[in-house]
Structure 1
Amino acid sequence: MTITQLHYVLAVAEHKNFTLAAEKCFVTQPTLSMQIQKLEDELEIQIFDRSKKPISLTEIGEKIVIQAKNIVNEAGRIKDIVDQQKGYIGGEFRVGIIPTITPTLLPMFLNNFIHKYPKVNLIIEELTTEEIISKLKKGHLDCAIAATPLEEESLKEIVLYYEPFVAYIAEDHASINKKEIEINDLDLDHILLLQDGHCFRNGIINLCKNNKYIADSHFQLESGSFETLVKLVDEGLGTTLLPYLHTLDLNDKSKKRLKSFKDPKPAREVSLIYPKNELKIQIIDALRNTISGVIKGAIAFQDVEIISPKTK
């Protein structure tokens, strides 16, 4: 039995296809099939039921895959231990970031990180929260940045910062001259939201439900981007809420339409997320320290109420 054979088993278990699994492992299909067959012969069992389409795991195969994941992860720790002992911070590192965080946070820390840690090859994917959770569990991401808490038992969350919600209202809105507002100051029958699938949208729904001012049916679903929502408000078509960092690049005229909420300000919790058995902890720490260093100067809010990204 070899680690390579276990890698091949995990690939077939995931893709349910020998040819596709071979492509992902960068070997020929006959090579992959032969190694899996050798392992099955050695164990005197069948891991896969090849008579089904797509290929499925046998009952014993399901148990073997669970153990194979543990073995492959633990084997990877050997190199991780050596890297930490040497103080080496480098290699490929895959990060997932949700779309409502990418355009504001990424430009703030990326340049600093790649200059400080030039041996790290960052591979960044913009993904929904659901995609991030799935890829973390499958080992396709090393870590992610998303709104939390996610309440996923197998994942660990380290809070990076709290980002308040800020209202963006039309010029003729009744609250335009108020310094700070409350949820009931907004015209909640005309709230403009991101499309379904964005956790920031879920956060707004939860915020309004918590205050018992609105039901799902009152929401208008308008766009996939904050920029479009801002333009719709400029045209007098409603009100929207923005994450604080998205307000920093607005022009002076637009900033006059921003209204902060009274304390405790509704906010989202943004965290680094990674599997509890994750390797490359030294890179995760480097990423956390870099982001913490740049975000402290941008967000100084303390008195906040965390709004869950999970729809209630």
Structure 2
Amino acid sequence: MFTVRQMRYFEALVTTQHFGMAAEMAGISQPALSVQIAEMEKMVGAPLFERMSKKVILTDIGRRFLPVIHDVLNRMGEFEKISSTSRGPYHSAWRIGIISTVAPYLLAPLLPAIEKHNPELKLEILEARTETLHQKISAGSLDLVIAADSFPDERLTRHLLFADKFYLASSSEDKDCAGGLPSPEAIKPERLLLLEDGHCLRDQMLDLCKTGNFRKEFSATELTTILQLVSYNFGVTLIPQLACMAEHKNRHLRISAFTRDKPQRKIFLFWRNRTPHQADYENFAGLIRQAVTPLLAEAEKLVNAHKPAA
């Protein structure tokens, strides 16, 4: 039947919905990937994917194979990890995925902490959106995920890392926000700037602001881009506490706490239930908290120092 390699190619194509992107993810040429997918379809006797003009989607038979392939790859990943356990938890690099609104701000303090306290630990880091990370950890191609969402998956263990407060980001020239706002709901919908669809931070902002209306002519893939637009008074947005120390250097950006509500998101570390490294991952969670706590404290001090006068 299918080889493990073919199943990994299948998973890559499901994730990207594009032969070229799947080939890049799998580290092979596009013709080679196409040949392997065609070979799988030949063995099944039916198409696994429906080829459309700009993407591919699973056929009915492909959807039936998907959970089986995910389960096999998950078990293979656990087999590989178990086989190296006797040589210690750090024999091979840990594959960790981090959502893009956390990765750049968390890695800055975390990597030096690892080098200082646990230099034998090596990480292979993937920055991606929540949905992609969920697929990859479920399929066994990631060992750990740091994300703000709680995955609805009983096969995963979640470990709370920290609470990440939301502050109001506005331009220093924005007179409407000069005195602060009581809550995210007070933001004018037509002034709200968001990340593009697919980011969990976007969904969290919409939920907190309790609106479906926002500036649809502006969207971005990176929080830094949104904050640049805010600094030039094109709108306002919410900024996580984790990002404040990196982003406050923009002198045109005003970061302020809400005067009434204290909105926040929770950041978790996820791993598969069957891992033999649960104790090691729990220790790693402690190291993350140790690394990020001073950064969060500095951010809160910074915001409190710029509270508007009563």
Match in the other structure for 2:195: 194
Structure 2 residue aligned with 1:172: 174
Aligned counterpart, 1:231: 228
Tell whether the 8 Å contact from 2:96 to 2:124 is kept in structure 1 after alignment: yes
Equivalent residue for 1:82?
Answer: 86
Question: Contact 2:4–2:73 (CA<8 Å) still a contact in 1?
Answer: yes
Given that residues 75 and 140 in structure 2 are in contact (C-alpha distance below 8 angstroms), is that contact kept between their aligned partners in structure 1?
Answer: no
Structure 1 counterpart SS, 2:197: coil
Write the deviation string for residues 214-264 of structure 1: whole angstroms up to 9, x where unpaired: 224665542222222222222221111111121113137446x21212455
- TM-score if structure 2 supplies the norm length? 0.70
Matched, 1:251 2:249: yes
Give % identity: 23
> Using the alignment, how far apart are the partners of 1:236 and 1:270 within structure 2?
29
Question: For the residues of structure 2 that align with 1:252 and 1:148, how far apart are their CA atoms?
Answer: 29
Give the gaps of 5 or more residues in structure 2: 12-21, 37-41, 50-58, 301-310
- Go from structure 1 to structure 2 and tell me whether the alpha carbon gap of 1:208 and 1:184 turns closer, same or farther (over 3 Å shift): closer
CA separation of 1:219/1:76 partners in 2, compared to 1, >3 Å: closer, same or farther?
same
Partner Cα distance (1:65, 1:172) in 2: 53
* Equivalent residue number for residue 96 of structure 1: 97
| Greater C-alpha Rg | 1
For the Cα contact (< 8 Å) 1:80–1:280, is it kept in 2? no
> Which of 232-241 and 61-70 deviates more?
61-70
Structure 1 position 108, deviation (Å): 0.8
Whole-angstrom distance in 1 between the partners of 2:68 and 2:201: 39
Q: Deviations over 1:167-220 (max 9, x none)?
A: 112323323124x632243222210111112111111011122xxxx2246655
Instruction: Name the CA distance, whole Å, in 1 between partners of 2:146 and 2:175.
Output: 35
Determine the structure 2 residue equivalent to 1:307. none
Task: Specify the SS of the correspondent of 2:295.
Answer: coil
Asked if 1:160 is matched to 2:158, the reply is no
Equivalent residue number for residue 219 of structure 2 = 222
Aligned length: 265
Letter of the 2:249 partner, please give it: N
Q: Distance in 1 between matches of 2:295 and 2:207?
A: 26
1:49 lines up with 2:43 in the alignment:
yes
C-alpha contact 1:89 1:282 (8 A) present in aligned 2: no
| Residues 1:279 and 1:220: Cα distance change in structure 2 (over 3 Å) | farther
Secondary structure in 2 matching 1:296: helix
Residue 285 (structure 1) aligned to one of 272, 275, 282: 282
Aligned residues of 1:159 and 1:272 also touching (Cα < 8 A): yes
TM-superposed deviation, 1:275: 1.4
Give the distance between the partners of 1:264 and 1:254, measured in 2 at CA. 25
State the match for 1:266 in structure 2: 263
Q: Distance in 1 between matches of 2:120 and 2:205?
A: 40
Alignment partner, residue 54 of structure 2: none
